[in-house]
């Protein structure tokens, strides 16, 4: 598990209609560990994240240019098999979005799409993944009840389990804790710290403190440009760019 | 009294008045039809077909029209469902909901919605003449399916548009195809709305007279073949009310009552089944 080689981004530009949201991003994201994409709201970090599994294409009038290599393959190439690509990545959205089915079915949904499985295999999978995200004990007696009935923090953990069930290499998080209460957010953060041993995690956040708690590497994006990329200690202790220094000292509002 | 409070009171008042009017019109329609038709309502009427001289006040019932309406309504609803379903899934899942193409389709459907059903009837009749198709259950159901298509499609469309974008994102990012997302996620989430659309269209269908008067014609026997004329309740009401005989007019009201009850029954059954269908819907 985990990406086999670094994710390479070359000259990546994204525009919505006439508006350029990302400008010529060049970045190399190391395999394993947590890479945080940091920046103020509206700077294009979510857009960057959505390029990795190309769900950016679900939006209208989007134009993506450049190259993005995952496992040595340019995934922005039109011939890329999106199903295979998306199976490699688990995505957590800002607001947890459960699917209109039971807790059990939510976890099994992705896995069942990719592989024909026996009932006993699915049972085992659901239990394993729910245990990974510390949700099993809370829901084991009501696996058949609607996922919508869970609290929002539980829903986000369920979404994580659902993503992990398709056995991805990479986990993408789009401010996955910002809609959660502090306790649930902490649970999710702990999961990330545990998962980073085996997965490449790319996490978008505008919360500086969260970045400090979690990051192994930080990419700072400001107004659609990649300002600075460095290992977390370097980035926080010894920022090079003026804009990074300003952001870290709170002069650029998040 | 401060102005704001006054304003509040006025709008509350308007709301109460409109609600009362709504409730009043529903009840008065049912009561009037019931009272006027009461004398002719009987089980015999529900379960027998018109005998000779029925429209002059002799023996018989309206079973032909009840079965005919159910048949024509069901077939038309089924036909237009197939069509509407494909349209709305195409414009909402396979195309962007807000794309130019989707907007044009919606615009066309809105125009079709606005066309009076007698125009559909005339259109259907013209085609029948062209291909020498006789007035029949099939011809009537086909014409009727065009009348109710825009209603069903637009109502379904509104439901699909309400599905959160994030839900689609979540499903896509698990590696699902559009088809899998359609039938494993979107249908489940939209089910109550899709059902409402079907019912609405069915209700409109069995209530429509203008589109089928020329295409389905009328008959005193119960429907047995797609290629034979068929009786329907709205026309049954119309023919009987337009006779000069009091007792036949009374039967017309009785038939109108049956039609109304049929609709109410269908809606009620559907509402009751809603809960089990919408159990997993994400609010």
Q: At what angle do helices B137-161 and B187-207 cross, to 10 degrees?
A: 140
CATH 1.10.10.10 fits B46-272, yes or no: no
Query: What is the DSSP-derived secondary structure letter of residue B243?
Result: S
Q: Are B187 and B156 in contact (CB under 8 A)?
A: no
CA B13 distance to own-chain centroid: 33
Distance from CA of B175 to the nearest CA of A (A): 5
Interface check for B86 against chain A (CB to CB < 8 A): the answer is no
Of B164, B184, B280, the CB nearest to A97: B164
Residue A3: predicted pLDDT: 55
Mean pLDDT value across residues B250-265: 93
Residues of chain A neighbouring B282 (CB-CB closer than 8 A): 97-100, 146-148
Return d(Cα B108, Cα A186) in angstroms, integer: 51
| CB environment B176-201: b (16+ within 10 A), e (fewer) | beeebbbebbbebbbbbbbbbbbbbb
> Dmax of chain B from CA atoms?
73
Query: What is the DSSP-derived secondary structure letter of residue A146?
Result: B
Interface check for A182 against chain B (CB to CB < 8 A): the answer is no
For residue range B84-122, list pLDDT tens digits in order.
Answer: 999 999 999 998 888 899 999 999 999 999 999 999 999
Interface check for A166 against chain B (CB to CB < 8 A): the answer is yes
Return d(Cα B249, Cα B178) in angstroms, integer: 55
For residue range B217-246, list pLDDT tens digits in order.
Answer: 999 999 899 999 999 999 999 999 999 998
Predicted ipTM? 0.90
Residue B276: predicted pLDDT: 74
Return d(Cα B18, Cα A83) in angstroms, integer: 53
DSSP states of A77-129 as a string? STT--HHHHHHTEEEE-SS----SSBHHHHHHHHHHHHS---HHHHHHHHHHH
Q: Are the Cβ atoms of A93 and B165 closer than 8 angstroms? A: no
Interface check for A97 against chain B (CB to CB < 8 A): the answer is yes
Please state, in angstroms and as integers, the Cα–Cα distance from residue A177 to each residue in A45, A49, A181, A210, B229, following that order: 15, 16, 8, 9, 65
Interface check for B114 against chain A (CB to CB < 8 A): the answer is no
Residues of chain A neighbouring B279 (CB-CB closer than 8 A): 146
Tell me which chain B residue has its CA closest to the CA of residue A51: B173
Residue A206: predicted pLDDT: 87
**In what side-by-side order are the strands of the sheet with A62-70?**
A19-29, A7-16, A62-70, A73-74
Residues of chain B neighbouring A172 (CB-CB closer than 8 A): 173
For chain A, the domains span 7-248
Q: Which two tokens stand for residue B279?
A: 């159990």
Distance from CA of B198 to the nearest CA of A (A): 21
- CA angle at A190 for the pair A142 and A232, rounded to the nearest 5°: 150
Q: Are B54 and B255 in contact (CB under 8 A)?
A: no
Per-residue pLDDT of chain A (254 residues; tens, 9 = 90+): 455 678 999 999 999 988 999 999 999 999 889 999 998 888 888 999 999 999 998 888 899 999 999 988 899 998 999 999 999 998 999 999 999 999 999 999 999 999 889 999 999 999 999 998 889 999 999 999 999 999 999 999 999 999 999 999 999 999 999 988 888 899 899 989 999 998 999 999 988 889 999 999 999 999 999 999 999 999 999 898 989 988 888 776 65
CA B189 distance to own-chain centroid: 23
Tell me which H or E stretch contains A172.
Answer: strand A170-174
| A42: helix, strand or coil | coil
Contacts of B179 (CB under 8 A, 6+ apart): none
Distance from CA of A92 to the nearest CA of B (A): 8
Mean pLDDT value across residues B43-54: 87
Residue A249: predicted pLDDT: 86
Distance spanning both ends of chain B, measured CA to CA: 40
Please state, in angstroms and as integers, the Cα–Cα distance from residue B73 to each residue in A208, B55, B126, B217, following that order: 62, 24, 21, 15
Average pLDDT, chain B: 92
Residue B81: predicted pLDDT: 97
For residue range A82-122, list pLDDT tens digits in order.
Answer: 999 999 998 999 999 999 999 999 999 999 999 889 999 99
What's the pTM value of the predicted model, to 2 decimals?
A: 0.86
Distance from CA of A212 to the nearest CA of B (A): 28
For chain B, the domains span 2-40, 46-272
Fold of A7-248: Rossmann fold (3.40.50)
Residues of chain B neighbouring A55 (CB-CB closer than 8 A): 169, 172-173
Please state, in angstroms and as integers, the Cα–Cα distance from residue A27 to each residue in A24, A92, A223, A239, following that order: 10, 22, 16, 17
Interface check for B96 against chain A (CB to CB < 8 A): the answer is yes
Count other Cβ atoms within 10 Å, centred on residue B146: 20
Residue B116: predicted pLDDT: 96
Mean pLDDT value across residues B165-191: 93
**Is residue B62 predicted with pLDDT exceeding 80?**
yes
Compute the residue count for chain B. 283
Q: Are the Cβ atoms of B170 and A99 closer than 8 angstroms? A: yes
């Amino acid at each position: 598990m985990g990406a086999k080689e670094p994710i390479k981004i070359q000259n990546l530009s994204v525009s919505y209609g006439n508006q350029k949201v990302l400008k010529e991003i060049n970045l190399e994201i190391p395999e394993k560990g947590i890479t945080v994409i940091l920046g103020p709201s509206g700077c294009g970090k979510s857009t960057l994240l959505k390029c990795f599994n190309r769900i950016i294409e679900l939006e209208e009038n989007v134009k993506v240019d450049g190259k993005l290599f995952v496992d040595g393959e340019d995934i922005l190439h039109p011939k890329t098999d999106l199903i295979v690509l998306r199976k490699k990545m688990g995505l957590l959205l800002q607001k947890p979005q459960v699917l209109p089915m039971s807790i059990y079915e939510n976890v099994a949904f992705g896995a069942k799409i990719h592989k024909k499985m026996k009932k006993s295999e699915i049972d085992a999978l659901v239990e394993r993944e729910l245990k990974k995200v510390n949700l099993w004990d809370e829901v084991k007696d009501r696996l058949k009840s609607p996922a919508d009935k869970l609290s929002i923090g539980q829903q986000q953990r369920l979404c994580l389990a659902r993503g992990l069930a398709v056995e991805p290499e990479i986990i993408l998080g789009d401010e996955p804790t910002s809609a959660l209460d502090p306790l649930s957010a902490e649970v999710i953060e702990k999961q990330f710290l545990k998962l980073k041993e085996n997965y490449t995690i790319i996490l978008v956040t505008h919360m500086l403190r969260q970045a400090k708690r979690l990051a192994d590497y930080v990419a700072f994006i400001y107004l659609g440009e990649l300002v600075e990329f460095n290992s977390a200690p370097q980035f926080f202790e010894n920022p090079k760019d003026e804009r990074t220094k300003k952001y870290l000292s709170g002069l650029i509002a998040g | 009294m401060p102005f704001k409070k006054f304003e509040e009171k006025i709008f509350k008042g308007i709301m109460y008045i409109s609600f009362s009017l709504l409730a009043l019109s529903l009840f008065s329609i049912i009561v009037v039809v019931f009272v006027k038709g009461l004398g002719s309502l009987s089980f015999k009427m529900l379960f027998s077909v018109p005998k000779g001289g029925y429209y002059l006040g002799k023996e018989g019932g309206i079973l032909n029209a009840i079965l005919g309406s159910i048949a024509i309504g069901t077939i038309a609803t089924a036909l237009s469902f197939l069509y509407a379903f494909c349209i709305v899934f195409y414009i909402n899942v396979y195309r962007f909901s807000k794309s130019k193409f989707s907007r044009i389709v919606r615009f066309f459907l809105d125009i079709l919605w606005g066309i009076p059903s007698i125009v559909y009837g005339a259109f259907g009749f013209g085609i029948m003449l062209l291909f020498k198709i006789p007035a029949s259950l099939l011809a009537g159901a086909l014409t009727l399916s065009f009348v109710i298509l825009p209603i069903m499609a637009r109502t379904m469309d509104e439901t699909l548009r309400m599905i959160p974008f994030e839900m689609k994102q979540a499903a896509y990012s698990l590696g699902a195809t559009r088809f899998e997302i359609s039938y494993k996620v979107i249908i489940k989430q939209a089910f109550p709305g899709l059902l409402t659309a079907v019912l609405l269209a069915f209700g409109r269908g069995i209530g429509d007279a203008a589109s089928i008067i020329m295409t389905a014609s009328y008959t005193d026997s119960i429907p047995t073949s797609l290629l034979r004329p068929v009786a329907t309740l709205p026309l049954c009401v119309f023919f009987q009310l337009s006779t000069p005989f009091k007792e036949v007019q009374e039967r017309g009201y009785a038939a109108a009552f049956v039609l109304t009850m049929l609709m109410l029954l269908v809606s009620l059954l559907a509402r009751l089944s809603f809960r089990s269908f919408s159990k997993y819907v994400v609010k």
